Amino acid sequence: MIDSRFDPRKWPGYLMAPLDGALLTIVVLILGFATVVMVSASPERLDTLALNVGVAFVVMWIAASIPPQRMMSIALPLYVLGVLLLIGVALFGDVSKGARRWLNIGVARIQPSELMKISMPLMLAWYFQLREGALRVRDFFIAAALLLVPVGLIAKQPDLGTAVLVAAAGFYVLFFAGLTWRLILPVAVVGIAGIAAIVVMGDTICQPGVEWPGMREYQKHRVCTLLDPTSDPLGKGFHIIQSTIAIGSGGVLGKGWGHGTQTHLDFLPERHTDFIFAVLTEEFGLAGAVILVLLYICLIFRGLFIAAGAPTLFSRLLAGALTLIFFTYALVNMGMVSGILPVVGVPLPFVSYGGTALVTLCLGVGMLMSIQRHRRRVGA
């Protein structure tokens, strides 16, 4: 008689036990769609893509197996480690393409800013869990200070895209923790007024020699290119012009798989990473874009459902923030490729090629699965 612990027939059950079936199905469907697009966009990268997916799924399974209580216990050490590594990058980091984002630790080069996408919401959720039942307005200011430290270090590298994602992750925790609209609205009004001023005065402030306080020259060019891509159609505006042509030429049903002219005639830059959404819409049209958006909506709704049913404040805040990070990834990338937002180098979640981003996203999905699994156990 075979011991049940070693019965091969029960191994699939053991492997699937930590995973949430609905989340897993949605992620697999998005990755399947992404693979179809990648076959057309960059078939030579399929082997590496398969390896990245395998590693990401292992990370997701491990994260799903860790109980939220254990996550809470590592939140503070992980945050401190991330900040120290970011300081190390600022002092000793390797410079690549004008940015200091990588830290050489001997055996490998790491990008500590990626760690903060997960450790930041973990840290703030842990902090608010400690303050549960005794929250004061000052606690939100303390949390904001904890958020601004890594965001400032990341923006200094400079890496505006990652800084936006980390800031968004932290803000979502603050919002779900009960941040009052009296504090949100003034900041929102100032931000809207600033954007309106840039749009109205674009012709003046985008002139050569005009400096923007707190922004690098290339960041200024990205904003100005967004306002008028035709001002430099063969230079800084080339990416946006070609991507919008690809999106518009796809029509309702697209040109057909593998028949995208902007893609295969090499007009579309970074077609396998940041601009893969343009490949998708050129070849599959509006219909393909709608299918992908519906899959993202399913992912977000499932994540928010898990957050709503989480048993502790920590797990609710963490699940809500992780879910809206997926939303932010998709919104910023699609807006960037469509010419609505500046180009900031944010990948399309689960679709863009890139091992680090995929592993980070699957880590977030695994943490959501862990929260859902723990909720089931508590409710049992």
Stretch 143-148: mean pLDDT, rounded?
A: 94
Residue 345 CB neighbour total at 10 angstroms: 16
Q: Express each pLDDT in 97-127 by its tens digit.
A: 667 777 777 666 778 888 898 999 999 999 9
Report whether pLDDT(276) > 50: yes
Which pLDDT value is given to residue 171?
A: 94
Q: Which two tokens stand for residue 164?
A: 């936006």
Domain boundaries, the chain: 47-372
Report whether pLDDT(245) > 60: yes
Tell me the CB-side half-sphere exposure of residue 298, using CA atoms within 13 A.
Answer: 16
Contact 111, 155 (CB under 8 A): no
Q: Which one is predicted more confidently, 227 or 26?
A: 26
Tell me the CB-side half-sphere exposure of residue 128, using CA atoms within 13 A.
Answer: 27
Q: How far is CA 178 from CA 133, 148, 228, in A?
A: 12, 19, 39
Report whether pLDDT(285) > 50: yes
Average pLDDT over the chain, rounded to an integer: 86
Q: What is the DSSP letter of 133?
A: T
Q: Verify cis geometry, omega within 30 degrees of 0, for the bond prior to 229.
A: no
Backbone phi, then psi, for 257, in 5-degree steps?
A: -60, 125
Could you give the CA distance from residue 171 to residue 178 in angstroms, rounded to a whole number?
Answer: 11
Report whether pLDDT(349) > 50: yes
- Cite the beta strand spans of the chain per DSSP E: 94-96, 99-104, 109-110
Q: Which one is predicted more confidently, 188 or 234?
A: 188
Q: Express each pLDDT in 146-201 by its tens digit.
A: 999 999 999 888 788 888 899 999 999 999 998 888 888 888 888 888 888 878 87
Q: Which one is predicted more confidently, 218 or 167?
A: 167
Could you give the CA distance from residue 181 to residue 216 in angstroms, rounded to a whole number?
Answer: 32
Considering only CA atoms, give the Rg of the chain: 22
- Give SS3 for 378: helix
Could you give the CA distance from residue 148 to residue 137 in angstroms, rounded to a whole number?
Answer: 17
Tell me how many helices (H) and strands (E) the chain has: 15, 3
Q: Which two tokens stand for residue 41?
A: 């966009």
DSSP-derived secondary structure for 7-49: -GGGHHHHHHTTS-HHHHHHHHHHHHHHHHHHHHH-GGGHHHH
Stretch 245-258: mean pLDDT, rounded?
A: 88
Report whether pLDDT(376) > 70: no
Contact 109, 102 (CB under 8 A): yes
